[in-house]
Structure 1
């Protein structure tokens, strides 16, 4: 065992001495050549997908009573769109989501629980619009398509 220690100690010292630097070291760097970058298709993040679906889920597509649409302003429609989408996407069953637009126009969107139909998430909804002293109620069922959009699949006045 002593012989191994006598041989190992000098070898260890030589190994460590080889790692030590005694003078200034200069390193030359070769020029870097960049290869052309081929664009890869971008995969949308969940936030981008949500934003895109919000823009394409429109109250004009059966989520609101057509008579209410006739008296709603652009701001009313935008607020109703947002409330409709977020209620369908994230809302708790029975907890209405409220919105307010121009000139006292308001609304609420209430949704039911998620139901799986033909491999799609679907929910019943009730969208109430209060405009010019009158209530407009639209009930129906909406399903989330593969692209994230919500579409009315069944509606009743």
Structure 2
């Protein structure tokens, strides 16, 4: 137990602070390939804001389920994380899962959405066009059929 006397004598911080300092001074730099291999429920690492987190112990406790975390592996999950709008408490929790920094030169460029190439709109080949033709032809066919039936019944 630490007392005010210890603080005044500038004694060492509690062991937990020493451990954090040790981890901070040993910033491990990880490559994207290495991080992307950790993409399973029992071994899950995420890249968020240039930092790597081993979230394996948190998989069962994550409010969105483990599928959400697994879907963010193998890529920079910063946008996924920010889009959800995590609380300050959630951000503070991340510290205990921190394992190192990502080597940004190994992270592939983010993919931009490319719309699929579609043929030009052809009004004559749409289902609406067929319906319009039928709306015109069916009444004409009924009228023609009525005239034929009328002619046929008059002759007898």
Per the TM superposition, whether the score is higher than 0.5 is: no
**TM-score, normalization: structure 2?**
0.23
Q: Which has the higher contact order (CA 8 A, sep 6+)?
A: 2
The answer to which structure has the higher helix fraction is 2
